[in-house]
Amino acid sequence: MTHDTPLSPRPLHHLADGRRRLMTAAQLRAHGISAAEANEQCRPGGPWQQLLPNVVLLHAGPPTSEERLHAVLLYAARERTPAAASAVTSAVPSPVSVPRQPGGGQPSLPASPEAMITGLAALTLHGFSAAPPLPSLAAIDVLVPRLRRLRSTGCARIVRTAALPTAVRVTGLPVAPVARALADAVAELTDPGVVHRLLTEAVRAGHCEPAAVVRELNRARLLGRPHVVDAVDSLVAEGRALAEQHLYRMVREHALPEPVWNVDLRLPGGPHLGGVDAFWPEQAVALELDTRGAHRRSEDDAVRAEQARRREHLERLGITVVPLVPRRLRESPEHQAAVVRTALMAAGDREPAAYVVVLPR
């Protein structure tokens, strides 16, 4: 028996039953279809077509967007044995419905798959309105381990990585996390307006934190591109504005005393002590939004050192500094409010703080 000998010859029409629209060569062999038979069915004008190497579309006519997504994942997946392929084929998922709005809290996969959708296609699946619709994409990016021996072909564009991130499921498909998908998309984009819109939507719509995006862009060595740097500056500003809105809401909704907002602190007749996002003069408690993770790496060490120096100086003057991370402020405002309230209540147990001048900034 040769490698292409059918395992159990069966009529071909049973494959195109509405559920199984795509199969790999191994899956076809597991169903008793030899390579010669498959090639005959995929001849010009035939009922099937070879969409990608070793991936057969079991109908004529153009593939749908859902079929293209499944096809690139099948192409990028490791070849299975006929027995394993048969088991997989019995559970081939029906085509998915691509969402236009982001879903909430998609669960992470228990283990990283062998391949996942990334780039613009992933952003569309995540619900980005600034991402193009799937039918308009000439190629779909698929993220695979660096050592996989694959090439870009047809509608599949191979993106390699040293370590696959943990995928999320979107309509049953393994999709790269937003920050990674953004970096892979930006790597292929040259239009500054498109880059700016995608990065802005990532933060404004709550898909991910600015710091996560900047980390991925830095890892991909994209921060040397001028149009990316400009977009990142806007991204950081957008993230800070949203964090300030969450801070105002936290103070109101959790009945904290009203502070003075966005002020500079100075010693009387002395040096500038730095700006803080909120300050309670009677309790000598200052609050800072900790956004240092959103700075470019070249700036991060200097920013971190300056913030640490300033906070230590304020603490020596008897001023309690409460740093709040924007992500935690958004995800658990009640806990962050409790942290601030505890600092305010502890003011009575401390030595009186040095007198400082409070100025608007």
Q: Tell me: the pLDDT tens digits for 45-80?
A: 999 999 999 999 999 999 999 999 999 999 998 765
The full set of domain ranges for the chain reads 12-89, 116-243, 255-360
- For residue 242, is pLDDT > 70? yes
**What is the per-residue pLDDT for 190?**
92
**Could you tell me the pLDDT band of residue 6, with boundaries at 50, 70 and 90?**
very low
**Could you tell me the pLDDT band of residue 317, with boundaries at 50, 70 and 90?**
very high
**What is the per-residue pLDDT for 191?**
94
Averaged pLDDT, 198-213? 89
Averaged pLDDT, 266-291? 90
**What is the per-residue pLDDT for 79?**
60
**What is the per-residue pLDDT for 267?**
92
**What is the per-residue pLDDT for 326?**
86
pLDDT by residue (tens digit) across 14-28? 555 445 689 999 999
Tokens of 199: 């990065």
**Could you tell me the pLDDT band of residue 150, with boundaries at 50, 70 and 90?**
very high
**Could you tell me the pLDDT band of residue 303, with boundaries at 50, 70 and 90?**
low
DSSP string, 234-283: HHHHHHHHHHHHHHHHHHHHTTPPP-EEEEEEE-TTS-EEEEEEEEETTT
Instruction: Give the C-alpha separation, 211 to 238, whole Å.
Output: 12
| Helices marked H in 284-332 | 297-316, 326-331
Mean pLDDT, all residues of the chain: 83
**What is the per-residue pLDDT for 292?**
57
Across 104-113, 167-176, 296-305, the highest mean pLDDT is recorded for 167-176
Collect all residues with Cβ–Cβ distance below 8 Å to 349 and sequence separation of at least 6.
Answer: none
**What is the per-residue pLDDT for 298?**
47
**Could you tell me the pLDDT band of residue 269, with boundaries at 50, 70 and 90?**
confident
Percent of the chain whose predicted confidence (pLDDT) is above 90: 59
**What is the per-residue pLDDT for 120?**
98
Q: How far is CA 123 from the centre of its chain?
A: 8
Instruction: Give the C-alpha separation, 248 to 255, whole Å.
Output: 11
- For residue 91, is pLDDT > 50? no
Instruction: Give the C-alpha separation, 287 to 246, whole Å.
Output: 13
Burial of 79 (0-12, 13-18, 19+ CB in 10 A): exposed
**Could you tell me the pLDDT band of residue 106, with boundaries at 50, 70 and 90?**
very low
- For residue 104, is pLDDT > 80? no
Range with the poorest average pLDDT among 4-8, 69-73, 92-96, 314-318 = 92-96
**What is the per-residue pLDDT for 192?**
94
Say if residues 203 and 212 touch (Cβ distance below 8 Å). no
pLDDT by residue (tens digit) across 128-139? 999 999 999 999
- For residue 350, is pLDDT > 60? yes
